[in-house]
Chain A
Amino acid sequence: MRQTPSDTQSIDADVPSHLYAPAGQVVSADASSELSRRQFLEAAGFTISLAAIGGCGRAPVQHALPPPKLPVGMIPGQLRYYASTCAGCPASCGLLVGTRDGRPLKMEGLPEHPLSRGGLCAVGQALPIGLYDSQRLVSPLRAGQPAEWVVIDQEIAQSLAQFKGQQKMVRLVSSTVTSPTLQAGIDSFLKQFADGEHVVFDAVSCAAILDAHAATHSVRVLPHYRFERAATVVSFEADFLGTWISPVEFTAAWSTRRNPQPGMPEMSYHVQFESRMSLTGSNADRRYAIHPQEQGPLVGRLTELVAARVGAPLSARLAPAIDIDQERVLANLVERLWQTRGQSLVISDSQDTGVQRCVNYINHLLGNYDHTLELARYSRQRQGNDRDVEQLVEDLTSDRVGALLVTDVDLLHALANCDGMADAIDRIPVTISCAPRVDEFASHAKYVCPDHHALESWYDAEPIASLVSLGQPTLAPLGNTRSVLESLAAWSGQPTDVGAAIRLHWKSVVFPRRLAQATASFAEFWDNALRDGFVEVEPEPVNIREFASTSIRPLIHPAATNAFSLVLYANVGMPDARHAHNPWLQELPDPVTKITWGNCVSISSGDAERLGIQDGDVVSVSAGRDGPRLELPAFIQVGQHEGSLAIALAYGCKGTDRFAKIGPQWFQAEPTVPELGLVGVNAASFLEFRNGTLRYQRSGVTLAKTGTHRELAATQQHNSLELPADVAPFGAERREIVQFTTLAAFAKDVHAGAPEQHHASEPQLWPEDHSKTGHAWGMVIDLNKCTGCSACVIACQSENNVPVVGYDEVRRQREMHWLRIDRYYTTAFQDISVLHQPMMCQHCDNAPCETVCPVLATVHSSEGLNEQIYNRCVGTRYCANNCPFKVRRFNWFEYPRNDSLKNLVLNPEVTVRSRGVMEKCSMCVQRIEAARIVARTQGQPIADGAIQTACQQSCPANAIVFGDMNDPTSGIHAARENPRIFRVLEELNVRPSVSYLRVVRNRGEEALRG
């Protein structure tokens, strides 16, 4: 159930936040982690029966510890949802925090949220495990030693006081701050100093886009991209479905236009120019592999062509000529863009302001502004200013800074390219870090003042200038931490409470901006905001000037070298270093490479052949003789452009050696991190400042084999739908596992792409042994919407207590994810194309696993589910062998569950599996049962949509439909009428309950190759 205003009445007084953590309610302002951990178990006392059960005679005595006073409205064991805002990244998606017995357990998307539309990415799903992390700081540190807040505050206040007059710089570095209250707090904090400035530094920055708009529209803002309005999307390297700015929002928007109907075969046309294979590129209708240095010329040429097409030809050439094929490609593209002018969108992730200006010009010429890009309601999701950062680095190294406060970003890790930073920081009189763990900067900082975890604290956010959202605490702080806002207030001498501060700020700043039709009472306004999690308000006016065409100048084009050029990118599962301590994300297979536990350097097959490099060969990547150099395993990436390399950032973070023993320990187990190493390596050393922006692209990089080898822990070994040539039978070189077709073919025949012979219904071996009356749960997954973003994988992991097994087990092909996403390359088209297919238990009607289990541990339910009964399983693995989809997961070991704090993340509704039993997707049967009980209590049938599986709920693309196939009014019933429907391995006649919708790529060809 969701919070209603009546519930929140109690939250309407100006009392300190921790006194009304809506659940859990065990409050102690000065509780050490140990203490609050015990209190936690009290609050959760009803669910602490994870002790080993069994053995003869009396079971061990178990105590039930009801809290002395039950919190208002809290019912033991009942799941309650609180609307909130995700703090995983500045995108600030809508969040529903599911709490049980005072423990936030399950993060879900907020369906009503205008941006994320009920979606939530893997990072957001993985928030809880960060909360219950026993290695989080539980008290502030002073010179590395735990200290009292009062002591620290005193010292800091004193030492800061000296800078009020004196001309020493005070710098507060943070990543993008979307919270208006915190922004206000920072400003007022810095105001008191003679030279206080706020430096916004995004580890993965979009500064060039902001700077470009400063030049072309004279407002330094990030436009709000509206992919749902874009009929044509042209992206240069921008991974907007994966990591770029606000991926969940963009995926949700993009997928609304990927739904061709029999009546109207229309969908958006998406072209991707990129050097590495990004998640976005893998979903594009056409993907052109380009050399990283070709981006400038291509954008320049496109600008020229568009200008010419529009009839405002440019005087001078913007870029050198490009080769003839690309010329042809662009020519067609321009035509399409012109056809769809006003609803087309050209984007680029280039950090070259010139390129971004051209991009702006293209969008301007095509009249896309105010349609597919909005400046009036601009985005505040990236505010980083690399000029400031560059300046800051200079100030630091030349000892001009007196006090340095860093929050939300690990300065030293993210700026590994700047030499002498560490020493410079050590020389600064006052250095304060607000990191929740001792990261690289914190280890050099005098004071570490740990911030709350997002789920412990009040916060707000304004991702789009007109949408303000609230984050509310769902439990009392586990440790003796303090929100940044409170710290700043304390140091500037007017201590406040974050909840009160936000309320105050909203009253004075946000409330006045309310929409005309909004309520007049602030209390009501606040309650609504708290219940809904967000509120829409009038945007602050920005004065956008007429487009300054003068800003379009020829692009500086670097001289081409025959050395490699390296692209540094953010990983979908690990967008920034703050999540490095999250084992779920570390073990999340990358949507494209399928590699877990660390980063690697992607290299094209051609180059690999030339240099004799195999997957996993450790290579040394270096730029120049005295330039940066690092060693990491190589990975041959399909679709990687020759001469280009790609390495993911945000790895090699301090403290990740904690994961060395995360997997099962036995005498042949390999540690998850290499000896004395960290998870992955930090590639930030290859960053460089050029023309006022931080560049994620480095040319003149050389590659050399080191002779050593570290096997990559990838979850997929064979990557293409085509069988290996040496063993493929004639005429069956490709398997029809994922069916796909082109829009042209689909327009002709809605069944296009289906294999020749149709296996409608084959005779049954034995008569129907399970009834078809009552419910029949089933699922339909629209592969045309699914981007493979892997949010569902983590959603499933967190809902179903799926263990983390570590590098060695993944390497041995023993990952435990119930839901995996198969990624296939196929050469059916002229170019490489990529297909993603979520694969989980298919709940077959004729399940091969069921007949072979000797002890009836896996059986068919009366509602069409294939049930796995862990406590009956003896572990013969026969069912897994006999499963055509290989979706069954076996507990090879007793996976470590000895961290009592981390165990609080476990979902009490789902059994924790012991060693030696089989497990698999249950279609979230616990949710089905819960919904059934609720429905029966209300005396009504289970409504369609009342049950949402974890994967379905979190899917940003809304690609998954779950429901009762026997209910003719249900959504899934309609979905199964879709002509694109197919079932995997139909010919086996196992009759899966899970169906898929065929992929349709917006392309001209009507027939596929091969």
Chain B
Amino acid sequence: MQQRVLSIVLLIGVCFSLSLLVSAMSVWRVPDNQQGYAPQQPIAYSHRLHAGVLQIDCKFCHSAAVSSRYAGIPASDVCMKCHRFVTAPYDQMLQELQLADKEGRPPKTIISPELRKLYDSMALDDNLQPIPGRTPQSIPWVRVHNLPDYACFNHQAHVTAGVTCQQCHGPVETMDRMQQFSTLSMGWCVNCHRDATRDGVNGRAVQASTDCSVCHH
């Protein structure tokens, strides 16, 4: 009797510790795997809003992706293409407009705190006029996707081959804060190259070489 109780207790204990172990395993990852890395950015830019809601094409801002090794983090003046006019969330601006012609005065520009940072970096005042004596400064974006410098990934090659941005960067259009979707491990690259050569990319036959020097040179 006692024996049986004991063994039951032991069994429960073992199952419990096993489950603990498994759950621990699930969060464990190989060193250098940055998957899920989503650092705080100097400006809370939302891909969900721009790429998701507003349906802006990725390559509109990351234009270098089609013609260069780097997709390129857009220069601030690319933002200004729209944000010269869009200075705050749409509803706020609408309210101000209505308020303005109700009171019969010229609408003042409302500037949302995040965009304020952008204008500061461009050395623009509240009326988006250049502030004399100040030179525009770069925005210190934090790199999300860091490849070691011995691995050369070329955006142009992949965009040309018809690989969609999401295949590596994941559902960016749903991310408020950008995060690393894939492991970016060598195995991840190589397997995709193997599959691509076998099955093609989105229906197109491609020659995705697995020679080492394709990425390492």
Contacts and interface: CB of A to CB of B under 8 A. Distances in A.
On whether A and B touch (CB less than 8 Å), the answer reads yes
A867 B141 contact: no
Given A57-B31, A68-B77, A78-B68, 6 more contacts: A49-B148, A50-B149, A76-B72, A859-B212, A872-B216, A933-B157
B60 interface: no
A68 B70 contact: no
Nearest to A49: B149
Interface string B53-74: 0000000000010011110111
A49 B72 CA distance: 14
Most chain B beta-carbon neighbours within 10 Å: one of A55, A58, A69, A76? A76
A867 B216 CA distance: 9
Interface in A20-63: 42, 45-46, 49-50, 53-59, 61-63
Interface in A927-959: 929, 933, 936-937
B157 A936 contact: yes
Contacts of B73: 46, 64, 66
Q: Interface range on chain B: under 10, 10 to 19, 20 to 34, or 35 or more?
A: 35 or more
A750 to B, nearest CB: 37
A611 interface: no
Nearest to B210: A862
A45 B32 contact: no
B136 interface: yes
A867 B213 contact: yes
Given A76-B72, A909-B152, A871 B211 contact: no
A542 interface: no
B160 A69 contact: no
A58 B34 CA distance: 7
Contacts of B140: 63, 65
Interface in B16-75: 31-32, 34, 37, 39, 64, 67-70, 72-75
A68 B138 contact: yes
B77 A54 contact: no
Interface string A825-864: 0000000000000000000000000000000000101110
Contacts of B152: 909, 926, 929
A863 B213 CA distance: 10
A922 interface: yes
30 contacts: A53-B148, A58-B34, A59-B146, A62-B142, A63-B141, A63-B142, A64-B73, A64-B141, A64-B143, A66-B138, A68-B122, A68-B138, A75-B67, A75-B72, A77-B68, A78-B69, A859-B212, A865-B211, A867-B211, A867-B212, A869-B213, A872-B212, A909-B217, A925-B213, A926-B217, A933-B156, A933-B157, A936-B160, A936-B161, A937-B160
Nearest to A926: B217
Given A56-B31, A59-B32, A933-B157, A862 B68 contact: no
A59 B148 CA distance: 10
Nearest to B71: A76
Interface in B158-217: 160-161, 209, 211-214, 216-217
B75 A68 contact: yes
The 8 closest A-B pairs by CB, nearest first: A68-B136, A56-B31, A53-B148, A65-B138, A871-B150, A861-B211, A77-B70, A70-B75
Given A54-B148, A76-B64, A933-B154, A66 B139 contact: yes
B76 interface: yes
Interface of B: 31-32, 34, 37, 39, 64, 67-70, 72-78, 121-122, 136-143, 146-152, 154, 156-157, 160-161, 209, 211-214, 216-217
A45 B75 CA distance: 11
A870 interface: yes
Nearest to B151: A871
B138 A45 contact: yes
B128 to A, nearest CB: 14
Given A53-B148, A912-B149, A66 B68 contact: no
Contacts of B69: 77-78
A66 B67 contact: no
A673 to B, nearest CB: 33
Contact of B149 (A861, A863, A911): A911
A909 B150 CA distance: 9
A910 interface: yes
Contacts of B76: 66, 68-69
Nearest to A68: B136
Most chain A beta-carbon neighbours within 10 Å: one of B31, B69, B122? B69
A67 interface: yes
Interface of A: 42, 45-46, 49-50, 53-59, 61-70, 75-78, 859, 861-863, 865, 867, 869-872, 909-912, 922, 925-926, 929, 933, 936-937
Nearest to B137: A68
Contacts of A68: 75-77, 121-122, 136-138
A45 B73 CA distance: 10
B47 to A, nearest CB: 16
A75 B149 contact: no
Nearest to A859: B212
Say what secondary structure dominates the interface of chain A. Answer: loop
Contacts of A59: 32, 34, 146
A937 B150 CA distance: 24
A869 B211 CA distance: 11
A859 to B, nearest CB: 6
Contacts of B75: 66-70
A936 B214 CA distance: 14
A364 B31 CA distance: 78
Most chain B beta-carbon neighbours within 10 Å: one of A42, A67, A870? A67
A42 B138 contact: yes
Given A56-B32, A64-B141, A68-B138, A929 B68 contact: no
Contacts of A926: 152, 217
Given A76-B68, A936-B161, A58 B37 contact: yes
A65 B70 contact: no
A922 B213 contact: yes
B117 to A, nearest CB: 13
B206 to A, nearest CB: 9
Nearest to A63: B140
A910 B73 CA distance: 22
B68 A75 contact: yes
B146 to A, nearest CB: 5
Contacts of A937: 67, 156, 160
A861 B72 CA distance: 30
Contacts of B149: 49-50, 53, 911-912
Contacts of B146: 49, 53, 59, 62
B94 to A, nearest CB: 30
B118 to A, nearest CB: 10
B144 to A, nearest CB: 9
Contacts of A65: 138-141
A925 B217 contact: yes
A59 B160 CA distance: 30
Contacts of A64: 73, 141-143
Contacts of B212: 859, 861, 867, 869, 872
A77 B72 CA distance: 9
A861 B121 CA distance: 47
B142 A61 contact: yes
A910 B150 CA distance: 8
A572 B70 CA distance: 39
A558 to B, nearest CB: 59
Most chain A beta-carbon neighbours within 10 Å: one of B74, B136, B154? B154
Contacts of A67: 75, 138
A62 B73 CA distance: 13
A34 B10 CA distance: 69
Contacts of B74: 66
B213 A929 contact: yes
A865 B216 CA distance: 13
A911 B211 contact: no
A870 B32 CA distance: 18
Contacts of B138: 42, 45, 65-68
Most chain A beta-carbon neighbours within 10 Å: one of B70, B137, B211, B217? B217
Nearest to A861: B211
